[in-house]
Structure 1
């Protein structure tokens, strides 16, 4: 029953993630924290694999569409994200070695802070003057920071990607969503390879991984189909309500860490 529940959560999360560009792990991770009873390292790994499967599916399905990843800036962000994915994974292992409970608390606190920050930005977005960063080094650094955050949190992107792309690159919602998925693809791919190479893959049940990855592939397929039919305003509304849900779940999980 739990495996079926995880499968359904992954489909819903990655469908929303594929539309909005948050990846899906930002929903999968906190929901599994609250319901699965699995160790935080296992949840992060399963969530990361699911998001990786979803982003591969989404990027393949975006080929030939009207929206395109920016070849130069998007790729520089993705390369920075790949390096950040490795750094974030190392940071996660470092904090985890200091104590299992500590890493969970750190993840929840950081998630709440980032989500509230993005929510505040979203509410005031029309009054904030955006930038149009073109410097290559700046793109790499921004991608690096995004990769570190997504890998450490085990969410594969999250709302912070969208806010950064809105502000630093003046992208509209749908363009930012596609570029965000591109960054997530690189950062999660690098994080996954680092985990395998360093032999730090946590224990997990293969049936659970298979169900979650299948959910990610289906969600990526459904998400891209919906995205083509939605305008920027509809994506913005979905993103706003998603921020509220993520904040609520993260607060609940933080409270559970102390009980």
Structure 2
């Protein structure tokens, strides 16, 4: 059963409730943006890592449009989350996070360029989605193993600006290529390289995501523009992103590090399962 069949089955189920098709679709995308953004704001997942595979699973949009919808939603979430971060008892490590963000911006441009080359060379959107799903799934398994065994893994307090910039470059490149925003990657790297707690990693991850997604949107605006993408659901996803950012940032003030880690782990498991479904859907 491919992603289009999942999409049609879901819509047919809701249509039995006497709702208009357009209302159902709008509600669906608002819920996706809201749910992903709550996870993103609360656990530093960013939201894109959830939005990307979920939209691939639904199958309504091409891979390039999914990237724009994800980037815009995550950017709106990060704006709200950072605005409310002044009320948190954890702070942004501005020096290190800014250097990572600078590297992520340049890496993001390179990743987007590589992605465009891949799409052009393969000229088969489903194969591109398959490659991304496999890579995301494997990365999430690695991150899950790191989180579960973090107590037994030595962490560091890096201070070399060149090394930190190089880390940001790699993160940005990978995140842009996969269209995920980089949330879980950021959280894991911040914990490993800077010995940050779960809540510190989450907040600093959102700070980095803000710059990486802003640069991705600016790059698209000045390269291909937005007219070639189907962005009809963008307003609903942004509403979900803003609402999710508000809810997630409020919850972040109340939860402890242990709870943030559990939420992060649950999110990672869900992402793995969704990407497995995308891989299976490609073959069946």
Q: Specify the alignment match of 1:133 in structure 2.
A: 158
- With normalisation by structure 1, the TM-score equals 0.96
Partners of 2:176 and 2:243 in 1: CA distance: 23
Hey, what does 1:70 align to over in structure 2? 93
Structure 1 residue 179: deviation in Å? 0.6
- 2:42 aligned to 6, 15, 19, which one? 19
State the distance in 1 between where 2:114 and 2:242 align: 28
The gaps in structure 1 that reach 5 residues or longer are none
Structure 2 partner of 1:209? 234
2:19 corresponds to which residue? Answer: none
In structure 2, C-alpha distance between the alignment counterparts of 1:101 and 1:11, rounded to whole Å? 26
Instruction: Find the aligned partners of 1:33 and 1:107 in 2 and give their Cα distance.
Output: 10
Q: Is the 8 A contact 2:183 2:206 kept in 1?
A: no
Q: CA deviation at 1:64?
A: 4.7
How far did residue 36 of structure 1 move? 4.0
After TM superposition, what 4+ stretches of structure 1 lie above 6 angstroms from structure 2? none
Pair 1:84 & 2:110 matched: no
Instruction: Give me the CA root mean square deviation.
Output: 1.2
Matched, 1:199 2:230: no
Q: Please, which runs of 5 or more residues in structure 2 have no aligned partner?
A: 1-23
Question: Contact (CA 8 Å) 1:86, 1:187: kept in 2 or not?
Answer: no
- Partners of 1:8 and 1:215 within 8 A in 2: yes
Instruction: State the 1:66 CA deviation.
Output: 2.3
Partner of 2:186: 161
Cα distance in 2, alignment partners of residues 103 and 94 from structure 1: 11
Q: TM-score, normalised by structure 2?
A: 0.88
Aligned residues of 2:65 and 2:231 also touching (Cα < 8 A): no
Secondary structure of 1:229's match? Answer: coil
Distance 2:235 2:247 in 1: 18
Bigger radius of gyration: 2
Question: 1:172 — aligned with what?
Answer: 197
- 1:31 lines up with 2:54 in the alignment: yes
Deviation at 1:22, TM superposition (A): 1.0
Across the two proteins, how many residue pairs are aligned to each other? 258
